Amino acid sequence: MSCSDNIQFLRKRRGLTQEQFAEALGVTRQSVSKWESGQSYPEMEKLLQMCELFGCDLETLVRGSADAAASEDDAEYEPFMNAFSRAIAGGVALILLGVTLLVGLGMIVGEEIMTMVFLGLLTVAVLLFVLYGIRMESFRREHPRVGALYSAAECRRANSVFAARLCVGIGAILLGVIACVGIAEFGAAAWGSAVSEYAAGAVVLVGVTIGVPLIVYGGLQKSKYDIAAYNRENKPRAGGEPLSSRISGAIMLTATAIFLACGFIWNKWHPAWAVFPIGGILCGIVSTLMDKGEQQGEEKRADADNE
């Protein structure tokens, strides 16, 4: 590929219009058009700016094949997204497992010991979230745009697998709720109200601990196949990180603070666990509403990228 072809390929791969690209380099749109048509050649300063913007080396930009280099980068997408899905779902599972153990074994082993176990699992989960959050940010910066990696058949198969995981996860949660109702109804006479209440809470949490991480993992794996959304999310933003992400992070931090406060101050570990699924639902609503609005705005400007 020639330098002009590489510039055009990398610009479109980055999701930039000629106007946006020109603004990023501090030149006019006409200059970009001449570079891409081969009528003129960029100065060394502009070439170096392009290398920084596109995340490529000067040799590839000037004399190499940006298309071939991009294909090598795309090969890293699948293993990284798989590892990210496992880490996030695993972190969610650790938090829910800690809550389940705290509620289920608190009366038997002692709430102080189980609180320490919960905080230990929570610490590991938070470290996973932080580690893979940083890795994801770095990966997106180094791979702002990926090609069409999956066929239509693979996407359809991914949707079927997601539906199966979703059904199993919801089924596990509902079975836990059914068992909880049964224990609350018939267990009070046999074990006493206090024991049956803890047993009912523990049983429903077992279903949640199994179902929610499976749903989270399935959703992350499904989103892996939505390459268009990945590329759209990595387009340059004037405001930096999306507002929906900042709001979702604040919601989950608030949920964790409420849970710990209810437990340590009022000793209400059992009902307080409900803040986590509620927080997850709120995050989903915020993300859906706000990202949909951003997507509609992007779609209105999509025709400008047909050069």
**What residues have CB less than 8 Å from 66, skipping those under 6 apart?**
1, 5, 6, 9, 10, 13, 54, 56, 60
Report the pLDDT value the prediction gives residue 251, as an integer from 0 to 100: 76
Residues 98 and 75: beta-carbon distance below 8 Å: no
Report the pLDDT value the prediction gives residue 167, as an integer from 0 to 100: 94
For 305, the 3-state DSSP assignment is helix
Report the pLDDT value the prediction gives residue 171, as an integer from 0 to 100: 93
Residues 82 and 159: beta-carbon distance below 8 Å: no
Half-sphere exposure of 224 (CA within 13 A, CB side): 27
Report the pLDDT value the prediction gives residue 213, as an integer from 0 to 100: 92
Residues 98 and 121: beta-carbon distance below 8 Å: yes
What does pTM read for this prediction?
0.62
CB atoms within 10 A of CB 293: 11
**What residues have CB less than 8 Å from 285, skipping those under 6 apart?**
none
Report the pLDDT value the prediction gives residue 170, as an integer from 0 to 100: 92
Report the pLDDT value the prediction gives residue 205, as an integer from 0 to 100: 84
**Residues in the chain with pLDDT values less than 70:** 1, 13-15, 55, 66-73, 106-107, 148, 184-198, 235-246, 248-249, 268-271, 273-274, 276-277, 280-281, 283-307
Cα 74 to chain centroid distance, Å, stands at 18
Q: How far apart are CA 259 and CA 272, in angstroms?
A: 5
Residues 25 and 49: beta-carbon distance below 8 Å: yes
Closest CA to 169 of 212, 209, 203, 201: 212
Residues 158 and 225: beta-carbon distance below 8 Å: yes
CB atoms within 10 A of CB 134: 10
Q: How far apart are CA 265 and CA 292, in angstroms?
A: 40
Q: What tokens were used for 185? A: 């109804």
Q: Where are the alpha helices (DSSP H) in the chain?
A: 3-13, 18-25, 29-37, 44-54, 58-62, 66-74, 77-109, 111-142, 152-191, 193-224, 227-233, 243-266, 269-272, 275-300
